[in-house]
Structure 1
């Protein structure tokens, strides 16, 4: 015989299961970010530090959308600013960071089905940590010498290791008569000491570099370049090592 207590217990269990099912069917978001560095390294992280240009791919990862109509609004804001400098309205979006400093990224999402409206906005993000990106300040130095003698050490004249956050780069090599011998636009590349496929003579050449950093800094570097074919580690031709 079924008692009143058993009926109440059954109803309570039914209501609990119904609420749990409803919660499972509620649309939710889980924003994530994946970054690709200038070296091609891919990193997924909620907080990222790197140099410009840094490419970011942002995903809403919405689930339980079902019959709801979804709208998305990505907001990119610099540290110290109240207003976003960029707003995107797609579910997933890409952006390349070229400005130094700290950036926060949030996703506002709204799911609508009839009179049922579920929002993830300011109130949601007041309790959640935004995605963050920090772009380093720029740095660029050029050496004063190199030794293209085929020993695998300092054979290429290029920017010193440690350059970072350069959004523009253009370098030129000239001889003493002002003739342009070589130019390149990637700081990872450089000059091998040749002109039209042939080795140039040992001596003094000149480099001109025009570059711009993510922090707005401009570089106009002009300096002598000592080409030392007879220099190897353990010898000293008087020119010294590349500095």
Structure 2
């Protein structure tokens, strides 16, 4: 009972007065792969604001010398409920994937002998609401412009995705499950004819929004940027 009381008391003190009064020995941070495929870092000074799904590897990063009886906990809170974590991980380093829209706080707890608690400044993560738009045409002619039929740039927080291309006779031509990928205008390794095809997309956003998109897809290999006539 005494141990629980001390933990709660220290937590309340940390909330109202900050963490300066504790002997802290860690410099926690997180790493993730950004939209360009490069590993990026976030910490209490530099959080994340962007799209889901977002997988972050959180690292306690303790100093070289600390009491062997120390253990660590990662507490993840919704911004709207800052005093009750919806998830606690009992490990020094942990990985978590954010799949819901909203703002979150990730706090590292340093616990010694079950009594002493250091609560580090929170790492903030903001996940946007979902957006998804499919184009009505593309030109797979090898000019490097609009060669792949895929979701328009700027799609956000799509956590489930499935798209199928059909020809005018209802035959399935291509299927993919990543909004960053798409159809190159071929079927079984051969180029299909120019003309109208159809796409059927079912997707779900981090905010729970469901997308069901059906539309024509115009395949226009003869179209290039240079073919546009300007007055």
Q: TM-score range by the shorter chain?
A: 0.7 to 0.9
Task: Give the 3-state SS of the residue equivalent to 1:74 in structure 2.
Answer: strand
Gaps of 5+ in 2: 1-22
| 1:101–1:134 contact (8 Å) kept in structure 2 | yes
Provide the residue aligned with 1:119 in structure 2: 117
Which digits, 9 at most, give the CA deviation of each residue in 1:54-94, with x for residues without a partner? Answer: 1111122233324x411222110111124211110001111
1:189 aligns with 2:187: no
Name the CA shift for 1:206/1:28 in 2 (closer, same or farther; >3 Å): same
The CA deviation at 1:220 is: 0.6
Q: Which has the larger radius of gyration?
A: 1
Does residue 45 of the first structure (1) align with residue 42 of the second (2)?
A: yes
Does the alignment pair 1:109 with 2:107? no
Deviation at 1:38, TM superposition (A): 5.0
Q: Please give the root-mean-square deviation of Cα atoms over the aligned residues, in Å.
A: 2.1
1:203-228 Cα offsets, whole Å, 9 max, x none, are 11100111111111111110001111
User: Do 1:65 and 1:111's aligned partners in 2 also have CA atoms closer than 8 Å?
Assistant: no
| Alignment partner, residue 72 of structure 1 | 72
Unaligned runs of 5+ in 1: 1-25, 238-243
Match of 2:212 in 1: 220
1:79-118 alignment runs, 5 A limit? 79-81=79-81, 82-112=83-113, 117-118=115-116
What's the TM-score once normalised by structure 2's chain length?
A: 0.80
How far apart are residue 45 of structure 1 and its match? 2.0
